[in-house]
Amino acid sequence: MKRETKPRPRRKAAPSTTETAGATPWTEGIPLGTGGAIHPLFGLGLWSVGRWGPDDEIRTRSAIGRALERGVRWFDTAEVYGSGRSERLLGDAISAHPVGPAAPFITTKVSWEHLRPGQVKAALTGSLQRLGRRSVDLYLIHGPDPRVPLAQTMPALEALWKEGKIGAIGVSNFGLDELEEAGAALSEARIAVNQVRFNLFDREDAEPILEHCRQHGVLVEAYTPLLRGLLAGRYLDGERPPREIRGLSHRMLDDESMASLLARARALRDLANERAVPMASLALHWLRGQGALPLAGATRPEQVDELLAAIAARPEPAVLAEADRIARGDDGA
């Protein structure tokens, strides 16, 4: 069924959280655009699915299954994750588990290498086939390609939105200029989401766009909310981040940066222990206080349980303010 063609007004303020009876913090959500869909507050990112060996893949399948059993709704993948294996494994896991009261909210992404109009449609067709779906709730540009004008890409996405194959259009890793350029290239749809790297320690890309996104009703999704586990307590007792993890962390976990980060992360752990909350809850709920929706990874079922326990614990605003001061280094740590 074709979508209505009546122009849609831009929302000037972020909407309030929607809660339902018996909801858990990971099933609550925020209206996405003006179409009535609800975007969950917390999600599971599947960037690692298909990246490792067979045993790791089996564990990740189990993690997805545990998340579905626990009522997690938002799953984020991309065509480049494992060269499509992430999407296929997610589709298989969903088909193997009965759908609960609320269907999963699925995000996938078109690669920065496929942004020409014909490529966009072909990429989405491939993603839908791997996912076993007729449509996705949210489709993101994974990152801009300076060789392809957004004036070409955005109308191609809008055409797919009008066909009902995309519930909402979003972008990832876009700065202010790119957000404005992308929005200007749309005629009826609008940019619903910008997914960016954002956590207590890594704010450089996100902070400049937050106010713009609030004013224009663009939801901010935060990937690496736990900085590859550092903000959940990993690497604090002598373990060194593996080379691949360091390579994916934009030099944040390189040896020359780690000494300062470790001192502040240990202070955050002390704060969490003092307040009897999981350390990760400081990072996740701090992001919610900034208006961002955290998207965390888990590759084992027990990691899913730990993540949901951290989400369920809600630190007081004063505790989150103290965590912010520590993370900025304002306390001298």
Q: Taking a C-beta distance cutoff of 8 angstroms, is the pair 184, 178 a contact?
A: no
Q: Which amino acid appears at position 92 of this protein?
A: D
> Which parts of 20-116 fold into alpha helices (H)?
54-69, 85-96
User: Is 81 part of the annotated catalytic residue set?
Assistant: yes
Catalytic residue, from 81, 139, 223, 235: name it.
81
Longest distance between any two alpha carbons in the chain, whole Å: 59
Q: What one-character DSSP code corresponds to residue 84?
A: G
Rounded CA-CA distance 232/224 in Å is 11
Rounded CA-CA distance 313/330 in Å is 25
Reduced to 3 states, what is the DSSP secondary structure of residue 46? coil
Reduced to 3 states, what is the DSSP secondary structure of residue 184? helix
Rounded CA-CA distance 87/93 in Å is 10
Q: Taking a C-beta distance cutoff of 8 angstroms, is the pair 268, 275 a contact?
A: no
CA separation, residue 112 to residues 55, 174, 259 (Å) = 30, 12, 34
Q: Taking a C-beta distance cutoff of 8 angstroms, is the pair 333, 264 a contact?
A: yes
| Catalytic (active-site) positions | 81
